[in-house]
Amino acid sequence: MAVRSLFPILLVRDLPGLVRFYERALGATVPYRFGEGDEADYVSLQIGDVSLGIGRDPDALPPMPGDRIALWFYVDDVDATYAAWLDGGGHVEQPPADMPWGERVAQVRDPAGNLVNLGAEAPAAEA
Instruction: Select from 23, 24, 27, 30 the least CA-distant residue to 45.
Output: 30
Question: Per CATH, which fold does 9-120 belong to?
Answer: 2,3-Dihydroxybiphenyl 1,2-Dioxygenase; domain 1 (3.10.180)
pTM of the predicted protein model: 0.80
Distances, alpha carbon 91 to alpha carbons 35, 65, 83, 107, in Å: 29, 15, 11, 9
Residue pair 42/54 in contact by the 8 Å Cβ criterion? yes
- pLDDT tens per residue, range 38-83: 888 999 999 999 999 999 988 877 766 677 788 999 999 999 999 9
Per-residue pLDDT reduced to its tens digit, 97-122 = 999 888 999 999 999 999 999 999 86
Q: How far apart are CA 112 and CA 98, in angstroms?
A: 27
Higher-confidence residue of 125 and 49: namely 49
Q: Is 63 helix (H, G, I), strand (E, B) or coil?
A: coil
Q: Are 21 and 89 in contact (CB under 8 A)?
A: yes
Continuous segment of H or E residues that includes residue 33: strand 29-34
